[in-house]
Structure 1
């Protein structure tokens, strides 16, 4: 099988995390014998509108060139919305299989952009397969585009998790104070305020804990101010942490706190990464995380923005025996098995092969 890969997100030398899941997808599928005979990608973020415009013009020209002159069996595209102009232009010339891999709000929640949604519908009616990150997001896509059938939409978790990067390094020391972890982009919808409010409540109850916050984003100073104002001295603010260093954090956490309430959280891969390291996850009972977290089995599910409920479940875990904690950790590991990147790639290739028969 030959694939023509298109994505507006792909890592660059200076921006190694930008679209890293697309790179991981490509490498794992290649490792299983699939050839990428053409690639049109935008590498790295642009800081200015002018540079971004130039990159997209170059990107569209690359797509047009590869579409016309390269030999391939499947056109595999990540992120529909950003490619609507070029795809709409190419529809009349479509002769191969088209697969669209959506990752969040790029094809849902276009209610306020009726013209854009109308064109998206035109394209999706001609697409052979839509790939989504989770069963939750599959339901969202089918609800927003009722002309698509269940067979037209396939759930595949964003390249999966690399077991060589995220794995259990050592047994957790459950005798120490509870270690809570939060790794995220610092924006309000990721739930950082809910997390910190829960910590204040735990502190007032006298629950012994420490916490680590890692990531970056526009709300960084607000988080630091909140920590200072509420005297949360047991919280270690790390800032940005490289992906290859996250394994050490995930392994040291007793609980990974994932309070995002974004409807566009189509999967929430960091939760799966944490579980791969044997760390149970507490997340909002919505969106992607609700598809892999079983309440009181491999973690806990709480109502969005409900810091009372979040603190309640953290406290409940703190009161568990060592044996009960170890059982929940093992369940987390078991749940992450189906998200290993080789298994994810193998299943996706089987589905793509079906298209070509």
Structure 2
């Protein structure tokens, strides 16, 4: 299957404003352009009708990189398949989040069958996780290339590795909602602080609109010593903020948790991660090497691990070095090089004119 690539088009949210998929898509677009490839991007953030119209009006001989979340892939894929059937368009799917397999499995019959047919028309499906890639292979025919493509970030050239001598400074960065495990984090932190007073916890993130959890969370923060909610980090300053801390804590038990970009960003600042053993966290956090894993929704486990880090500064320093070292696999340069090789392997002729 060799076809001349008349135009390469990306589809998906594009930061700014800052969103997980938007950051990923910005990295992919910039990386392809830096390698000399021409790509047009249809931004699905904001006016959805406008982006759908742009997809419909795009040339039927274009090739598409579809990097969207749930609603986008189910809405846009039938349109793209019609272009594959009536023209010479081709497409690959980069499903954001970690629920694609479950979404397909939970569709009622015959909708499930229809969408399996639609997604089988893609040249390839490239989730962020190796675990999810293995799971998806059972859903599609063998003609589709399925392999993982990590969530990329722009990696700094250098990283200053050091461990403070006095306070162990912990940080959470992410959405503020109940299933992100923040209640368990604060309870575990307070438990650890009873015997380890030289620790602090700062929490950054935003709330979902009209979320009843906001009031309870703010009250819990106000009642806890050495815990401070610091609001949303300004766009583009996540890594700058993470450099101020010794350890990122990520206690999620959110069903839709995919490949958390903030863990990658932590590694790129030489910051180890204490994460719940949930969904694909185990694939990124190598227990004992670049961080530690704990049982989800378990404050005692969080407290025990916080105390371990505080009592083992030498091992914390080594984990910082390891985190920086392993971050290279998630750099934009590495991931985009893998993507280019994938496109060449499936027969796409990339336009550099």
Identify the residue that residue 265 of structure 1 maps to in structure 2: 257
TM-score normalised by structure 2 residue count: 0.86
Q: Superposition pairs for residues 1-357 of structure 1, below 5 Å?
A: 2-7=7-12, 9-12=13-16, 15-17=17-19, 19-36=22-39, 38-44=40-46, 55-68=47-60, 72=62, 74-79=63-68, 81-94=71-84, 95-105=88-98, 107-110=100-103, 111-114=105-108, 116-143=111-138, 145=139, 147-149=140-142, 152-158=145-151, 160-164=152-156, 168=159, 170-217=160-207, 218=211, 219-229=213-223, 232-320=224-312, 322-356=313-347
Cα drift, residue 197 of structure 1: 1.4
TM-aligned CA distance change 1:43 to 1:56, over 3 Å: closer
Sort the Cα spacing of 1:189 and 1:174 in 2 relative to 1 into closer, same or farther, 3 A.
Answer: same
Give the Cα–Cα distance (whole angstroms) in 2 for the partners of residues 65 and 194 of structure 1.
49
Please give the secondary structure, in 2, of the residue aligned with 1:210: strand
Q: In the alignment, is the contact (CA less than 8 A) between 2:273 and 2:290 conserved in 1?
A: yes
CA contact (8 A) 2:155 2:328 kept: no
Structure 1 pair 199–128 and aligned structure 2 pair: CA distance change class (3 A): same
Deviation at 1:17, TM superposition (A): 4.0
Cα-to-partner distance string for 1:289-318 (whole Å, 9 max, x where unaligned): 211211111110111111111111111111
**3-state SS of 1:29 partner:** helix
**Matches of 2:165 and 2:76, distance apart in 1:** 58
- What CA deviation, in whole Å up to 9, does each residue of 1:14-53 have, x standing for no partner? x3447232122111111112211x4322234xxxxxxxxx
Q: Which stretch shifts more, 302-311 or 89-98? A: 89-98
Q: 1:106 to 1:300 in 2, by over 3 A?
A: closer
CA distance in 1, matches of 2:173, 2:161: 21
SS of residue in 2 equivalent to 1:283: strand
The Cα RMSD (Å) is 2.3
Relative to structure 1, the CA distance from residue 318 to residue 86 in structure 2 (aligned partners, 3 Å threshold; closer, same or farther) is closer
C-alpha distance in 2 between matches for 1:246 and 1:30: 24
SS of structure 1 residue aligned to 2:346: helix
Distance in 2, matches of 1:188 and 1:167, equals 36
Partner Cα distance (1:17, 1:81) in 2? 15
Residue 106 of structure 1 and its aligned partner are, at CA, apart by 5.8
C-alpha distance in 2, partners of 1:289/1:307?
Answer: 18
TM-score by length of 1: 0.85
Which secondary structure does the structure 2 equivalent of 1:194 belong to? helix
Please identify which structure carries the higher strand content.
1
- C-alpha separation in 2, matches of 1:128 and 1:221: 47
Q: CA deviation at 1:92?
A: 4.2
Q: Secondary structure at the match of 1:180?
A: strand
| Separation in structure 2 between the aligned mates of residue 222 and residue 140 of structure 1, nearest angstrom | 37
Highest RCO, 1 vs 2 (Cα 8 Å, sep ≥ 6): 2
Aligned-partner Cα distance in 2 for 1:59–1:91: 17
Structure 1: segments with no counterpart, 5+ residues: 45-54
